[in-house]
Amino acid sequence: MNTGIQLAYLVASVLFIIGIKYLGKTKDARKGNFISAVGMLIAIVATLLTLDVLTFIEIGVCVLIGSVIGLYYASKVPMTKIPEMVALFNGFGGLASFAVALSDYYLKSETNLASLDAVNLTSILLSLLIGGVTFTGSMVAYLKLDGKVSGQPITFKGQHALNLFLLIAFVAASVLVFLDPTQVTFIVILIVISLLLGVLTVIPIGGADMPVVISLLNSYSGMAACATGFILNNNVLIVAGSLVGASGIILTQIMCKAMNRSLVNVLLGGFGQTVATGGADGPAVVVKEIGVEETAMLFDSASSVIVVPGYGMAVAQAQHVIRELMEQCEKRNINFRFAIHPVAGRMPGHMNVLLAEANISYDKLIEMDDINEDFANTDLVFIVGANDVVNPAARTNPDSPIFGMPILNADKARTVIVSKRSMGKGYAGVENELFGYPNCLMLFGDAKQTITKVVSEMKDMA
């Protein structure tokens, strides 16, 4: 039985690695997700066969309940709420590791104190720290994303000093636990510190940096799972946790680069503050407004179009009507593509998910580095709900809070049309210089409604 279980774990681990490899490409992401899910199913079944805790009937009931809950929320949660759902998933992952660490400590301290060796205790303490931080940090991220608390940074004097003090206190209490594992008081202190640290490291983060937060918390949940694997002596959990933790850190680094942040700054939990609080007030931006009919005419006469989607597209649920716009353009042999900024939206890959839901071909979705040089040779750029990721101030204004942030070169196109509800600022809280450029036109109104009218006009022209 043991050989078969270990072989199943090996197969599951290989499937995880293959799944992550497929996730690296947009067109193969769905296949990678399925392969990883099969690997997880194999790992779960193999683990349950080694345990004599629940009967198979009880296990089946638990699986059924979990599946029903998962299917319900997967079908009911709108695409605009996917970032919030991801934050909750990360939080529950951290909570699971946190709970396993506590239960393992309780059982062994009550029945088999000798088994609490250095490796086991270290794993328990790491699970408590990372799991607790992941849980409460993810809950704060969820509340910010869902608008239940302010998305603005919450800061106070001595915040970093307090975080450092709590971390030192956690280490000190951990040492005391090593000296006397039976002292429950120290464990309670560790629980309080870990949960408090999760809150304190996320509250100073503004909405502009939420994609980085999501990827970082995802990495934390993986590291917590890895530590739990050492507690349970489960090899596949160690492998899976390591893969999630490592890939999450790599993704975090990519997000940091796209937001012009350092990883150290992220780990200190103080990033997003300067971006979210705004920047220097420059001269008033004078904009030129365009109507639906004129917009349709510009699309009709263009030979190349690049669409830049942002969170506003998600809010307006405009991805489906944008597909209709793409179909109208392609009937006219117009080269139609999408430029995807790494941090557009509220989580990594947010725009990819939305556009894929609208059955837009993956090969139409081009990453920033691969399309930036093409903007100068593009007739028309259509910006839908994006703001900071196309703000030329990131290149031209050293006083801007977003200076140095890599952006899409939308301003270099022959004509730019921006679909926005109003002249409201983006998450960075600064004026977008692009809106006042001579080649930029503003199409005001709800994106879904205005684009629907543009499509209707184009159909009449055909």
- Judge contact between 104 and 191, C-beta under 8 A: no
Walk across the sheet containing 365-367 and list its strands: 365-367, 335-340, 304-309, 380-384, 415-420, 440-444
Residue 330 has pLDDT above 90, yes or no: yes
Interatomic CA distance for residues 201 and 126, integer angstroms: 17
Q: Residue 50 above 60 pLDDT?
A: yes
pLDDT at 1: 54
Q: What is the mean pLDDT of residues 236-259?
A: 85
Q: Choose from 78-82, 356-360, 417-421 the range with maximum mean pLDDT.
A: 417-421
Q: Helices (DSSP H) in 307-377: which residue ranges? A: 311-316, 319-331, 350-357, 368-371
- What is the arithmetic mean of pLDDT over 186-209? 86
DSSP string, 56-103: HHHHHHHHHHHHHHHHHHHHHS-GGGHHHHHHHHHHHHHHHHHHHHHH
246 neighbors 115 (Cβ within 8 angstroms): no
The pLDDT of residue 123 is above 50: yes
With cut-offs at 50, 70 and 90, classify the pLDDT of residue 52: low
Among 40, 204, 142, 160, smallest CA distance to 347 is for 142
**Per-residue pLDDT at 213 exceeds 70:** yes
What local confidence, expressed as pLDDT, does residue 125 receive? Answer: 92
What's the pLDDT band for 272 if we cut at 50, 70, 90?
A: very low
Mean per-residue pLDDT, 350-369: 87
Q: Give the residue with greater pLDDT, 214 vs 456.
A: 456
Say if residue 273's pLDDT is above 60.
no
User: Does the annotation mark 446 as catalytic?
Assistant: no
Mean pLDDT of the region 417-436? 78
What integer pLDDT is reported at residue 279 of this predicted model?
43
**pLDDT over threshold 60, residue 209:** yes
In this predicted model, what pLDDT tens digit does every residue of 274-314 receive, in sequence order? 444 444 445 566 788 999 999 999 999 999 999 999 888 98
CA-nearest of 70, 67, 68 to 85 is 70
Among 15-29, 103-117, 188-202, which range has the highest average pLDDT?
A: 188-202
Predicted confidence at residue 323, as pLDDT, reads 94
- pTM of the prediction? 0.76
- Please check the confidence at residue 193 and state whether its pLDDT lies above 50: yes
* Cα R_g (the chain), whole angstroms: 25
State how beta strands 440-444 and 415-420 pair.
parallel
Candidates 300, 370, 374, 388; catalytic one: 388
